[in-house]
Amino acid sequence: MASAGFCKKVCVTGAGGFVASSLVKLLLSKGYFVHGTVRQPGNEKYDFLLKLEPSENLKLFKADLLNYESLYSAIVGCSAVFHVASPVEVVEPAVKGTTNVLKASLEAKVERVVFVSSISAVFMNPQLSKEKLIDESCWSDKEYCKKTEGHASFTRIFLLLMQNWYCYSKTEAESQALDFAKRTGLAVVTICPTLILGPVLQSTVANASSLILLKLLKGCESLENKQRWIVDVRDLADAILMAYEKPEAEGRYLCNAHSIKTQELVEKLRTLYPNYSYPKNYTEVDDYKRLSSEKLQSLGWRYRPLEETLVDSVESYKEAGFLESK
């Protein structure tokens, strides 16, 4: 597989998103030529992408996950496809869109597809015991996801992410991707990240995971003291690129750096930024699980300290206008 990005052309779907834009930034810095798919090239909300250096190595394509031809035009000629686009509102774009990306990649004869899935495709399973170490062998139960309801958490926007239909769509899309690889011989690697924090590059809208941290900083009366699994978006971008560049990379990889209870996370934030509001009370919940990213670390993946992620997140929120300086 690729040992260096120079002269390599790759495609990133959903290039304007939180994760994808960080990946685009990394790829450009490594010498790759990047085809980025977006819904409306020329829209000012994508201007931040065109400021990434070297900007002449980035080309934006108008593409729709449900339009095969538009995807193929962006993918053809590329050595790799990083499928990062992740609609949360409905199932069809996530599942059929992934199939379209895979079929276009096969037709275009790309070397490898790296599909960004989610921890939601891993742990939503009532058969998983608390003693079970959650690793790449674990899958969410699709029927369980369809039969259970999501729960409100933090904001109505983030509710979409927490609904179990989201877990269903991510599980279905990832399992279909790996099955497609077995049937066709297309090289597919999947990455399942946990809660993704870190600096935002776009300043038009806060992504769903950033809303969680913003809610903690802005405070509330009471909050469940849940376990949080966290990975920095820059470390995730490293993992995604590693899944392409490492010839030995195969199958799926869980991507997590830190496990922490919500109250402890708030106290870390309070130490760094004492003047924000923060939640006042906590309700204890019994949701402890053990999660392993050992397989990913065996490829050489490393991650930064949580404090660095928190500081860089908060500073980027302030710069983007999502959060007042205090």
CA distance 245 to 251: 14
- Residue 277 in this model has a pLDDT that exceeds 70: yes
Tens digit of each residue's pLDDT (9 = 90 or more) over 9-49:
999 999 999 999 999 999 999 999 999 999 999 899 999 99
Q: Which residues are catalytic?
A: 170
pTM for the complete prediction? 0.93
Could you give the C-alpha distances from 99 to 27, 43, 111, 172, in angstroms and in order? Answer: 24, 27, 17, 11
Averaged pLDDT for residues 230-241: 98
CA-based radius of gyration for the chain: 19
CA distance 309 to 22: 14
Looking at per-residue confidence, does 324 or 230 come out higher? 230
- Residue 2 in this model has a pLDDT that exceeds 60: no
How much of the chain, in percent, has pLDDT values that exceed 70? 92
Report residue 130's pLDDT band, with 50, 70 and 90 as the boundaries.
Answer: confident
- Phi, psi for residue 119 in degrees, rounded to 5: -60, -20
- Residue 150 in this model has a pLDDT that exceeds 80: no
**Domains in the chain: ranges and CATH:** 9-152+166-197+230-257+288-304 (3.40.50.720)
Q: What's the confidence (pLDDT) of residue 288?
A: 86
Q: What is the mean pLDDT of the chain?
A: 90
Tens digit of each residue's pLDDT (9 = 90 or more) over 179-196:
999 999 999 999 999 999
Could you give the C-alpha distances from 108 to 73, 74, 103, 116, in angstroms and in order? Answer: 9, 10, 9, 20
- Residue 135 in this model has a pLDDT that exceeds 70: yes
315 close to 199: Cβ distance less than 8 angstroms: yes
CA distance 256 to 296: 9
233 close to 199: Cβ distance less than 8 angstroms: yes
Quick one: the chain helix, strand, coil %, rounded to 5?
Answer: 40, 20, 40
CA distance 260 to 218: 20
Averaged pLDDT for residues 99-111: 98
Q: What's the confidence (pLDDT) of residue 4?
A: 58
- Residue 146 in this model has a pLDDT that exceeds 80: no
Q: At what angle do helices 68-75 and 91-107 cross, to 10 degrees?
A: 50
- Residue 263 in this model has a pLDDT that exceeds 60: yes
Q: What's the confidence (pLDDT) of residue 161?
A: 43
Burial of residue 106 (number of CB atoms within 10 Å: 0-12, 13-18, 19+): middle
- Beta-strand relationship, 281-284 and 251-255: unpaired
Report residue 224's pLDDT band, with 50, 70 and 90 as the boundaries.
Answer: very high
Q: What's the confidence (pLDDT) of residue 294?
A: 97
Least confident of 21-35, 57-71, 99-113, 139-153: 139-153
CA distance 289 to 297: 19
Q: What's the confidence (pLDDT) of residue 163?
A: 52
Token output for 267: 């106290």
